[in-house]
Structure 1
Amino acid sequence: MRVLPSVALAVLAVTLSACSGPGPAPEAPSGAASGATASSGTTASSDTTTSSVPASDRAEPTGKATDLPAPPQRTPVPAASGPATAAPATASPAPPAPGATAHTDPGAVDVVVNKRRPLTPLDYAPADLRRPAVATPTGFDLLRPDAATAVEEMFAAAAADGVGLAMVSGYRSFSDQESTYAYWVGQYGGAAGADTVSARPGYSEHQTGLAFDVAQADGACTLVRCFQDTPAGQWTAAHAADFGFILRYPFGFHEITGFSAESWHFRYVGRDVSLAMKEAGTQTLEEHFGLPPAPSY
């Protein structure tokens, strides 16, 4: 998912020297850490992306993200004209929707977080986080211990195959995500565009400590759709399941996941789930667990 404003400039520094596009990228907030030197790619992007990324790199289908309708809002209920009437004592609450309570434990590896399944509580923070012993050019370099160990194993296997990987975004807190989302609302001029690329606070997988964004070690196509065509993008797509990871936002499944395709965003689910999905050809967690799609809030 989209990185914090403070990281966005680092990402731009990593990619802009090698990326080209239809116009200059908007200025990102200052104060970012420095990253690796980019090689070749397309217009810069940040979770990631800047608004100069071609529409085909940001949204599916290819229309501009800002052309998407705003997420539905609840209509205010007018004040009652008389005293409120209590519900009958015999009234029973409506049964929960199928799957409403399944996979909701934020500390469980099988938790599903999307636009209709917020974390509970919204400001949830993992009890334990650690920094994996891999290249982490940005300040968001923490993961849950189980995810961190899997990242170390995956990166070591990639290196053995001659592919260099870097982790550019791991855990982000509720307050971090507040800043991230507010930044993209400003860039897109409202929630409609921001909601295609950035999760609202309390709805982000990064807040679980189980998700991270991967990049190629030389910075090529960092957080841009062309990452899928790099050696790093191809290697992780082919091998991530062997280490318990899934590509969380695959191309063409935005109406289920709620987000534009991100070939760099991986989620730790454990090998049982990742290998089962790979064997069945299932692309999303929602489909695997039989949960409703989450195209909007």
Structure 2
Amino acid sequence: MLRSSLAALLLGALITSVAGCAVTREPLVLDPSPSASSMPSASPTRTPTPTPAPTPSPTFDRAARSIDDPASAWVVVNKLRPLQPADFVPPNLRVARIAATQQLEMRDGTATAAEAMFADAAAAGVPLRITSAYRSFESQARINRQLVQQLGQERADIASARPGHSEHQTGLAIDVGALSGTCELDACFGTTPQGLWLVENAYRYGFILRYPDGLTAITGYAYEPWHWRYVGVELATEMRETGVATLEEFFGLPPAPAYAG
């Protein structure tokens, strides 16, 4: 830019001087060093402002809690992952202060989260109640025997866990229904206002729908819109945001459609 401006000034001066020479016939003299006042001023050099590097998003730590320890809120129990020990009894069992079909115990953390969730559901006009929570090894064995007698082993294994493989034995699972009893322990519960509210809001309290529709080949169980598993708000929110529906998929575990033996 400076060179082109200087050339223009020199050319203009040359034309003016030539025109003057035609009249006065005086010799043309070019000053090779123009004065500072005739030099165009250069714009000050601006140092570009560096673009700050983006702050990386924190990575969810999938190893923060055990998925093997039955006392952990992240424990994964399925047909290939029995509880160790098989007759595990969870600590801190208590009865939640919520509507229920009977006195039902669950882990203290599960109960506290359920109490908050049930209170907010009632305030939203979709009152809930629980129909099942903690089951001992013996209770699960009795239920499983009854189902096998009624349905046969194959169908019973899709409807209920064998003893030592049940989430209910961890004290972290609850079966939830409408306070009115509509569609209780039935797939149609997923279409009720209560079922729809849970799908949209249960993660806020740390619960996930453990056996989603169409994923029997992964979880090993039929769709159970009433079965909600407490995993804590952190994990439930991460699964919600990443769109991962099952614990097996989230933790990179093999599908568990059937028992090993």
TM range (shorter): 0.7 to 0.9
User: Is there any run of 5+ residues in structure 1 with no aligned partner, and where?
Assistant: 1-98
> Are 1:127 and 2:91 an aligned pair?
yes
Partners of 2:126 and 2:156 in 1: CA distance: 32
Aligned twin of 2:76: 112
User: Is there any run of 5+ residues in structure 2 with no aligned partner, and where?
Assistant: 1-62
What CA RMSD, in Å, does the superposition of the two structures yield over aligned residues? 1.1
The TM-score, its normalising length taken from structure 1, stands at 0.65
Partners of 1:152 and 1:128 in 2: CA distance: 16
> Are 1:174 and 2:137 an aligned pair?
yes
Amino acid at match of 1:267: R
Partners of 1:127 and 1:159 in 2: CA distance: 29
Alignment of 1:1-297 (within 5 A): 103-139=67-103, 141-188=104-151, 190-297=152-259
Partner of 1:263: helix, strand, or coil?
Answer: coil
Amino acid at match of 1:280: T
Q: What is the total number of aligned residue pairs between the two structures? A: 195
Structure with the higher fraction of residues in helix conformation: 2
Partners of 1:233 and 1:125 in 2: CA distance: 29
Partners of 1:115 and 1:246 in 2: CA distance: 19
Amino acid at match of 1:142: E
RCO greater where, 1 or 2, for CA within 8 Å and sep 6 or more?
Answer: 1
Partners of 1:184 and 1:257 in 2: CA distance: 19
Amino acid at match of 1:245: F
Amino acid at match of 1:288: F
Partners of 1:283 and 1:138 in 2: CA distance: 30
Amino acid at match of 1:198: S
Q: 1:284 Cα deviation (Å)?
A: 0.2
Amino acid at match of 1:179: R
Amino acid at match of 1:113: V
Give the ranges of 4+ consecutive aligned residues of structure 1 lying more than 4 Å apart after TM superposition.
Answer: none
